Structure 1
């Protein structure tokens, strides 16, 4: 009986705190909540970023080295994060166990949009930031790319923030035009973590993880390397290679004779064979020793978009660097994880619950 009374008291205090925070003057970058926002939507909170999370830890700085090249993981580790100003827009989706909202937040001085899923109840809940895979920015829409994962995790008690990235949906344009080798997207994911923590909603700040798919898997690697200790764990599905040159050869080199982003990257940076120092500096694999969190990798053995040998090489390199890593491979599964999606998510759920 005493335990139930204590739980009820904690819930009441949390709800009162959320109500109080909803009346604070808004100091963040971003639009006012949409007119169609549900009256039951979570409130927006303070825009202040988590202190101390914006600068690299000694382990990251020591491993990454000289940040003088602005397009590098070393430079990203030195960049001040400004994530905050999470603004709740209209309710767009939900289930019997959670609600989803269009949101925006601040990242690198830009307005970045996303989709937030919040479980029913007072919380506080563990949280996950999702990093989606590549979708042509001109056709991408809000929350696209990891809709299954967002709903699945929210139904099981996680607050889930899906970052659209700069240049996607209603986010501000990408200042690099796509030529910064995904470092801006990584910054947006890192700032999404800070935006969740500065929000007055039911998030347990000490229990946050990153989950990425395909290109988003590489973004998760970058985030764990440049800001170790920011989250508690990382999970990736069908990730790209941890060597930037292999990704270039697979996805960008074929379009060098067109006006695509591959040609723009070469004009700005040179191909990997022309500028190996820069391409090493944006590759995760040489810097795995900076990672302090456990990593779970899922990969289908029939994946012909991101070959499973990439994840095998990544897992070997992580183990050699002292990272706690588990690689799960799925017989007959392709890049999109269709038949074995639920199985892979059950593995993910056990991993997250054990680490968070």
Structure 2
């Protein structure tokens, strides 16, 4: 059973300006005048008055302009840094055919992202198109056991059967993708780069005429939900709509505390992260800048959130918090809760994917 909390508010912008002006001027009276006539017994012509010289005004100093403050550049590991980054997504290449079904062909693909080659799969429905495209961002799977296209297999199949071209990115360090040794210490922000570049690669893929680069949506699950939120705040307007399932928190500190800090086996990584940026208690500004919740006012796309009430991996409260922050910012967000559903979704999955398909059909219409 699903419960829906929906907000479709018109975003408003409020601006306040404080004008400080200080001016002083002494327009004092001109004092002094002709002297009184001299008194004597003989009438004598009055002496010509001696003019009193006007006071010489003191020169008014020219105002010294205040130096224009130089903006502090964002930390290179931050969402603001990704907002200003130049992306190179492109070179989407079809590889071998992995599977042929009655509804679509499944290809191995690669594309370019920040100078790296990223692997993935593309489910391409039969027909000439052009077809709307969905880019999928999977949740955490140990890269040592991950194989191309793994994760979100139900979603890949269902959505391709609804007529969507489905591009599932493996991310860097997974399957056939190039390695990025710094990605873990960079709090996996490289995955966000890979999703942004996947969309840009679709847009640049004129050699694959079945793809409509003007109609693109995102779907992310668990860790991929966080990647999707990052993408929405880093590149507003990049896609037309987004769906997240059982997402991690939009507050990076909660994710750090749940999966890294204090967990057995992560001591070395925790020490590296804290040495590089400071703990959240020591450097809260850094942690705000790697949290999408800080920048949800930048989101321009409608967002659908699915979350199970029995999710023990990503607490349902995280979905409520993200929904509340988006609504407070006047964004178009829908939260669907599924009573008793765990993190992986079981009985409620069919309803959730039907809702997702209808949501994308509404927002990825031909212009």
Residue 298 of structure 1: which of 306, 317, 323 is its match?
306
Deviation track 1:298-348 (CA, whole Å, cap 9, x = no partner) reads 000000000000000100000001110000000110000122111100000
| 2:295 aligned with 1:287 | yes
Structure with more of its chain in helix, by fraction: 1
Check the 8 A contact 2:245/2:307 in 1, yes or no. yes
| 2:99 aligned with 1:93 | yes
Partner residue in 2 for 1:72: 78
Counterpart Cα distance in 1 of 2:129 and 2:269: 43
Partner residue in 2 for 1:37: none
Shift of 1:183: 1.2
Q: Which runs of 4+ in 1 moved over 3 A?
A: 256-264
| 2:251 aligned with 1:251 | no
3-state SS in 2 of match to 1:188: helix
Partner residue in 1 for 2:126: 120
1:177-326 equivalent positions in 2, closer than 5 A: 177-199=183-205, 200-201=207-208, 202-255=210-263, 258=266, 261-326=269-334
Q: TM-score, normalised by structure 2?
A: 0.77
Ranges in structure 2 where 5+ consecutive residues have no aligned partner: 1-12, 14-70
Counterpart Cα distance in 1 of 2:340 and 2:72: 43
Counterpart Cα distance in 1 of 2:230 and 2:316: 19
Segment of structure 1 superposing worse, 101-110 or 198-207: 198-207
3-state SS in 2 of match to 1:112: strand
Q: TM-score, normalised by structure 1?
A: 0.79
Counterpart Cα distance in 1 of 2:129 and 2:297: 35
Q: Which has the higher contact order (CA 8 A, sep 6+)?
A: 2
CA-based RMSD: 1.6
1:34-113 equivalent positions in 2, closer than 5 A: 67-113=73-119
Partner residue in 1 for 2:351: 343
Check the 8 A contact 2:183/2:189 in 1, yes or no. no
Deviation track 1:165-194 (CA, whole Å, cap 9, x = no partner) reads 111111110141411112110000000001
Ranges in structure 1 where 5+ consecutive residues have no aligned partner: 1-58, 60-64
| 2:170 aligned with 1:147 | no
Shift of 1:259: 5.1
Check the 8 A contact 1:256/1:263 in 2, yes or no. no
Shift of 1:265: 2.4
User: Computing the radius of gyration over CA atoms, which structure comes out larger, 1 or 2?
Assistant: 2
